[in-house]
Amino acid sequence: MLRWALIFAVVALIAGALGFGGIAGAAADVAKILFFLFLVGFVVFLALGVFAGRKISGG
């Protein structure tokens, strides 16, 4: 998912540099949404890993 966010960010930068405002805005919006979804998923799995690690180690 992070790869797609980066791809859309690059598309937005290229489209913005070439003057395609609508395409750049749409690609930037999609990149933001995907990035924040990735970030939320990362935090959730990080928390699950920490809690599971404590449960397994008995801490």
For the chain, give the secondary structure using H, E and C. Answer: CHHHHHHHHHHHHHHHHHCCHHHHHHHHHHHHHHHHHHHHHHHHHHHHHHHHHHHHHCC
* Residue 44 confidence (pLDDT): 93
Mean pLDDT of 44-57: 86
* Residue 59 confidence (pLDDT): 60
Indicate if the pLDDT at residue 2 is higher than 80. Answer: no
* Residue 54 or residue 27, greater confidence: 27
Indicate if the pLDDT at residue 3 is higher than 90. Answer: no
Mean pLDDT over each residue of the chain, to the nearest integer: 87
Mean pLDDT of 6-23: 86
